[in-house]
Amino acid sequence: MFDAYLDQVKTILNAEDIREKTNVYTCNKNKAWPRTERQIILNNETAVELGHPSTESVSFLLWTESADKIKDNNITIIGPDLDQTNAERIPYGKIVLVKTTGFDKDNAYKRFEKMDHLKFKSELEGFMLRSVPQDYKEWSRVSKKAIKSGFNLKVLGGELIRDLKTLDFVEAVEIIFITSSKEDVAKFKQIGEIVSKATMAMNKMFEDLEFDCEHCTFREVCDEIDGMKGMHKKAMAG
**Model confidence pLDDT, tens digit, residues 18-54:** 999 999 999 988 889 999 988 899 999 999 999 999 9
Question: Cα separation of 118 and 114, whole Å?
Answer: 6
Q: Can you give the pLDDT at residue 217?
A: 53
Residue 55 pLDDT exceeds 90: yes
Domain count, the chain: 1
Residue 230 pLDDT exceeds 60: no
Question: Cα separation of 128 and 145, whole Å?
Answer: 13
The domain containing residue 81 runs over which residues?
3-237
Nearest by Cα to 224 from 204, 206, 186, 197: 197
Q: What is the CATH number of the domain that holds 187?
A: 3.30.1650.10
Q: Which of 133-147, 193-207, 223-237 has the highest mean pLDDT?
A: 133-147
Question: Cα separation of 176 and 214, whole Å?
Answer: 37
Cα–Cα distances in Å, from 92 out to 55, 109, 138, 151? 8, 26, 8, 16
Dmax (CA) for the chain in angstroms is 56
What amino acid is encoded at 103 in this protein?
F
Residue 81 pLDDT exceeds 50: yes
Q: Can you give the pLDDT at residue 38?
A: 83
Residue 228 pLDDT exceeds 50: no
